[in-house]
């Protein structure tokens, strides 16, 4: 179970697993809330794609709201708003139960059901799927994320295994939920270097870059509270005020709920010359391969695959200190880890203004490493059974 095939690290992770499974051993059905997304046609042909879980199309908002009201989902979301936010408001995370109400139930009894994302997917598996073995994937560092545990507790209690994508994320999760310690396992995202480099040469990116500049790229969902792109823009604005911006160009690839806010913020700060929003790309890797550094100013992360994908292409990462940053990056060797603050993002950019030569050394060291981890599929087999 997964939300949709929108471009993002968790979607890439899902596709990597689906492309690594031995289909002589397993039959796999895929249930998406919406059968859409830029990477929908990348699903392997061995997968049986089920009719979408959502009973209604995205446009049918009225009937979905009415069903949610009748099911008590709105009252539940209001209850969590009062409980968690200490004010009379609808808690939007609790609206995951409205999605459950508007999801069809599967008639099949499965050996194993896997939710592959910490919202609807895992809640659906916990509360609605019929399976002997229930597994939920968590791609973020729950401890430092915006997720409110009380909202999801009932569903996660029904999972047999909870997968965290890095050791640090698992340790943080256990600290928060000692009652789930026996369920928690660490399984890293699968990435194959040969595949990533092949995808990067699928076509020539339709983008002319100035190689005399420091060219940064971000590939992510456009969500400020998570990916921190807004603080990247604030840092650029500050550098512009100090006449230190000319050496930078920043390209942003992706889609998401804050895309319009992102564009507006760039325009308001008169940064259109320096920041280019490319929007979603079915295959962003040819664009990433052109760049000097992968820039991810996130407020929190699990273990973002886009960082390792960039390193596989010889593009070092400039990131904030999210939970597993030190597991992915050797600081100063194949990337740079900044403190996870707005000021540190600004200071980090300022520090590399004249660092093209050092960046080139990091690029070569990243390209010469092998980041592949195909053996992880065996860990997945172990929990699937």
pLDDT tens track for 142-179: 988 888 888 889 999 999 999 999 999 999 999 989 99
- Work out the average pLDDT over 41-57: 94
pTM, rounded to two decimals: 0.83
| CATH architecture for segment(s) 9-191+376-384 | 3-Layer(aba) Sandwich (3.40)
* Domains 9-191+376-384 and 193-367 belong to one CATH topology: yes
- Which backbone phi and psi does 304 adopt, to 5 degrees? -65, 125
- Which backbone phi and psi does 223 adopt, to 5 degrees? -135, 110
Q: Does the pLDDT value for residue 374 go beyond 90?
A: no
pLDDT at 3 (0 to 100): 95
Q: How many CB atoms lie within 10 A of CB 58?
A: 11
Q: Does the pLDDT value for residue 7 go beyond 80?
A: no
- Would you call 273 exposed, middle or buried from its count of C-beta atoms within 10 A (0-12, 13-18, 19+)? exposed
Tokens representing 299 are: 């407020």
Q: What mean pLDDT value characterizes the chain?
A: 93
pLDDT at 167 (0 to 100): 94
Domain spanning 193-367: CATH superfamily: Glycogen Phosphorylase B; (3.40.50.2000)
pLDDT at 144 (0 to 100): 86
SS (HEC) of the chain: CECCCCCCHHHHHHHHHHCCCCCCCCCCEECECCCCCCCHHHCCCCCEECCCCECCCCCCHHHHHHHHHHHCHHHHHHHHHHHHHCCCCCCCHHHHHHHHHCECCCCCCEEEEEECCCCHHHHHHHHCCCEEEEEEEECCCHHHCCCCHHHHHHHHCCCCEEEECCHHHHHHHHHHCHHHHHHEEECCCCCCHHHHHHHHCCCCCCCCCCCCCEEEEEECCCCHHHHCHHHHHHHHHHHHHCCCCCCEEEEEECCCCCHHHHHHHHHHCCCCCCEEEEECCCCCHHHHCCCCEEEECCCCCCCCHHHHHHHHCCCCEEEECCCCHHHHCCECCCEEEECCCHHHHHHHHHHCCCCHHHHHHHHHHHHCCCCCCCCHHHHHHHHHC
Rounded CA-CA distance 362/58 in Å is 44
- Work out the average pLDDT over 216-226: 94
Q: What is the CA radius of gyration of the chain?
A: 21
Rounded CA-CA distance 376/334 in Å is 23
Q: What is the pLDDT of residues 230-260, one digit of tens each?
A: 999 999 999 999 999 999 999 999 988 899 9
Report domain extents, the chain.
9-191+376-384, 193-367
């Amino acid at each position: 179970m997964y939300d949709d095939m929108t471009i993002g690290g968790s979607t890439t992770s899902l596709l990597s697993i689906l492309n690594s499974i031995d289909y002589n051993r397993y039959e796999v059905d895929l249930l998406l809330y919406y059968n859409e997304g830029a990477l929908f046609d990348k699903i392997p042909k061995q997968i049986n794609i089920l009719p979408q879980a959502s009973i209604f199309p995205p446009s049918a908002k009225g009937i979905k709201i009415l069903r949610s009201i009748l099911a008590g989902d709105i009252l539940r979301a209001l209850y969590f708003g009062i409980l968690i936010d200490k004010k009379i408001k609808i808690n939007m995370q609790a609206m995951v139960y409205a999605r459950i109400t508007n999801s069809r139930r599967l008639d099949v009894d499965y050996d194993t059901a896997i939710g592959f994302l910490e919202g609807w997917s895992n809640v659906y598996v916990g509360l609605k799927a019929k399976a002997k073995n229930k597994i939920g994937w968590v791609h973020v560092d729950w401890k430092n994320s915006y997720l409110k545990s009380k909202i999801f507790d009932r569903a996660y209690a029904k999972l047999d295994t909870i997968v965290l994508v890095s050791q640090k994320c698992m340790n943080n999760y256990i600290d928060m939920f000692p009652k789930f310690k026996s369920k928690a396992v660490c399984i890293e995202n699968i990435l194959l270097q040969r595949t990533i480099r092949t995808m990067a040469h699928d076509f020539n990116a339709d983008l002319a870059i100035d190689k005399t500049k420091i060219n940064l790229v971000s590939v992510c969902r456009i969500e400020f509270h998570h990916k921190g792109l807004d603080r990247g823009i604030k840092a650029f604005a500050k550098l512009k005020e100090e006449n230190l911006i000319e050496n930078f160009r920043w390209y942003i690839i992706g889609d998401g709920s804050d895309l319009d806010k992102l564009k507006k913020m760039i325009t308001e700060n008169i940064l259109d010359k320096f920041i280019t929003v490319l929007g979603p790309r079915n295959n962003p890797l040819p664009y990433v391969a052109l760049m000097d550094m992968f820039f991810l100013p996130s407020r929190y992360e699990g273990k973002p695959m886009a960082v390792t994908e960039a390193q596989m292409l010889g593009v070092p990462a400039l990131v904030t200190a999210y939970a597993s940053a030190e597991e992915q990056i050797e600081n100063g060797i194949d990337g740079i880890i900044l403190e996870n603050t707005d000021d540190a993002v600004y200071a980090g950019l300022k520090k590399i203004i004249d660092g093209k030569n050092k960046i080139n050394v990091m690029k070569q060291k990243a390209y010469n490493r092998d980041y592949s981890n195909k053996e992880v599929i065996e860990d997945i087999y172990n929990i699937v059974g």
